[in-house]
Amino acid sequence: MTDDANSMWGGRFAAGPDAIMEAINASIGFDQRLAAQDIEGSRAHAAMLAATGIITDNDAEAIREGLLTVLSEIETGTFRFSTALEDIHMNVEARLKDLIGEPAGRLHTARSRNDQVATDFRLWVRGQCDAAVTSIQALQKALLVQAEAGADWVMPGFTHLQTAQPVTWGHHMMAYVEMLGRDASRFADARARMNESPLGAAALAGTSFPIDREATAKALGFDRPMANSLDAVADRDFPLEFLSSASICAMHLSRFAEELVIWSSAQFRFVAMSDRFSTGSSIMPQKKNPDAAELVRAKIGRILGATVGLFTVMKGLPLTYSKDMQEDKEQVFDAADNLMLALAAMEGMVRDMTGNPEALRTAASSGFSTATDLADWLVREAGLPFRDAHHVTGSLVALAEAEGKDLPDLTLDQMKSAHEAITDDVFTVLGVDNSVASRTSYGGTAPDQVRAQIARWKEILT
Ligand code: ARG
């Protein structure tokens, strides 16, 4: 081994790496984010090695203290990361050797960087699952406040972005509470599945040392050790589940963000975004732009991109570890950071935004939004088959449109011209309030139904 060769694995090497080799090989630029998890894993491993008599208690104690010093150096920013040492694992171990000397060389007994990195990354992604659930719930709480304030504000419900039927603001907010609830449960499910320890799988085949994998699993908060050492070092389904869950959540956020962009426009005025989550224009003094909503709308791009990226890295890789898998981290870090930011921005926007009940009501009252109520009335009160009622109502919508009126503005005579069974009573269902109040089916938009769902979610989220 020359002086240039790597001190961790350079025994069989006569020369050090080319500079380009070092640049493409090193991951320390990004995997230093795993420092805390790496040290946690090493502490658990060292304690287990001592408990099983593989190393002495004295060595384990020196390692433990040394690792705590390394951790504090990293936390305080005095640690000097070295690209020549490739990654976080070798950076930590090399510094440990500077600090405590020979015992540091015993830490890597019965372990490989393969099970080490799988362990570190699992711990990190597991933490992000928990963080995602917390951020999602904060957003759900902000939505509940909005839903409660406007449980009976009438607004247009859309299909094809065309006015469909009146709904309530509260109902619309609660739709996102439901979606986010499933998002949170996806992260919780992923967490439960990934919560098994790869540590002790060693390079790929396990080890001949009498290790105690149950002990390290328990020390790291895992439910159990992974049952197959090849699987333990080879699979990256856990970040893929995280990214898939993140992509679905980001897709939900993107849809809501798009609605906020539309709703805050001068043409809609359904909602006023707060100054705190808007920006101005450098040339047009009147502008107040919903930049935060636009950026949340866009975040799905990089999060889904990371998902596709990691799937592409992993597909076709033969078991077990290949260096390709070092490319599993950066995009997960980026996706996680941006998901948390998007959730926080959305929470802030929702908390600060002001719905405009008058504009919502005016919009709900136009566009023949109660045409279905008229058709339902014809079925219920005049005994028409729904298809006929649909046809009669359609002809009345055409008549109203030709006259530049809304349905409730037609005269009774005009109504009767479409079907003689229509009476004055029909006007009671043509108002938007009556329309929403009548939708009392489970999960429907009637304010009473909405309030029942708000109460249910308040219970869940406390
Ligand atoms: N930096 C590596 C990674 O992130 C650690 C594992 C290296 N293992 C190896 N056999 N070269 O994947």
113 Cα–ligand 1 center, Å:
6
Find out whether 303 and 247 touch, Cβ atoms under 8 Å.
Answer: yes
- In 3D space, the residue among 335, 323, 179 whose CA is nearest the CA of residue 242 turns out to be 335
- Give SS3 for 280: coil
> How many A from CA of 324 to the centre of ligand 1?
9
Per DSSP, the residues of 170-200 read HHHHHHHHHHHHHHHHHHHHHHHHH-EE-TT
Cα-based angle 395, 401, 403 (whole degrees, multiple of 5): 105
Residue of the CA atom closest to atom 3 of ligand 1: 326
Q: How far is the CA of 312 from the centre of ligand 1 (A)?
A: 18
**Distance (Å, whole) CA 151 – CA 145:** 10
What is the pLDDT confidence band of residue 2, given thresholds at 50, 70 and 90? low
Considering only the C-alpha atoms of the chain, give the largest distance between any 2 of them, rounded to a whole number of Å: 102
Q: Contact at 8 Å (CB) between 23 and 66?
A: no
CA 287/CA 350 separation, integer angstroms? 20
List 281, 322, 366, 395, catalytic entry:
281
Instruction: Between 2 and 157, name the one with better pLDDT.
Output: 157
With a cut of 80, say whether residue 101 has pLDDT above it: yes
264 is catalytic: no
Query: In the structure encoding, which two tokens stand for residue 135, read together?
Result: 């951020």
Amino acid identity, residue 352? D
Give the pLDDT confidence of 348-382 residue by residue, as tens digits: 999 999 999 999 999 998 888 889 999 999 999 99
Is the pLDDT confidence value at 434 over 70?
Answer: yes
Query: Picking from 52-66, 109-123, 270-284, which range would have the lowest pLDDT averaged per residue?
Result: 270-284
Q: Of all atoms in ligand 1, which is nearest to the CA of residue 121?
A: 4
Average pLDDT on 147-171 reads: 96
**SS3 call for 340:** helix
Residue 358 has a CB neighbour count (10 Å cut-off) of: 9
Look at residue 148 in the predicted model and tell me its pLDDT: 98
Q: Are 333 and 30 in contact (CB under 8 A)?
A: yes
pLDDT at 126: 98
CA distance 432 to 48: 69
Question: Contact at 8 Å (CB) between 91 and 34?
Answer: no
Provide the terminal-to-terminal Cα distance of the chain, rounded to the nearest Å. Answer: 62
| pLDDT computed for residue 4 by the predictor | 66
The radius of gyration of the chain's CA atoms, rounded to the nearest angstrom, is 31
Q: Does residue 395 have a pLDDT over 60?
A: yes
Task: Compute the distance between CA of residue 12 and CA of residue 15 in angstroms, rounded to an integer.
Answer: 9
Which stretch of DSSP H or E encloses residue 267? Answer: none
Q: Write down the pLDDT at residue 217.
A: 98
Pocket around ligand 1 at a 6 A CB cut-off: 27, 31, 87, 113-114, 117, 321, 323, 325-326
Distance from C-alpha of 197 to C-alpha of 75, rounded to nearest angstrom: 25
3-state secondary structure 11-34: HHCCCCCCHHHHHHHCCHHHHHHH
pTM: 0.93
State how far the Cα of 442 lies from the Cα of 104, in Å rounded to an integer. 64
With tokens 């994998």, the residue in question is 213
Which residues neighbour 173 within 8 Å (Cβ) at sequence distance 6 or greater?
143, 144, 146, 147, 150
Between CA 65 and CA 43 the distance in angstroms is: 9
Do strands 271-272 and 162-168 pair parallel, antiparallel, or not at all (unpaired)? unpaired
- What's the pLDDT at 3? 58
Average confidence (pLDDT) over 257-281: 93
Whether residue 281 lies in the annotated active site? yes
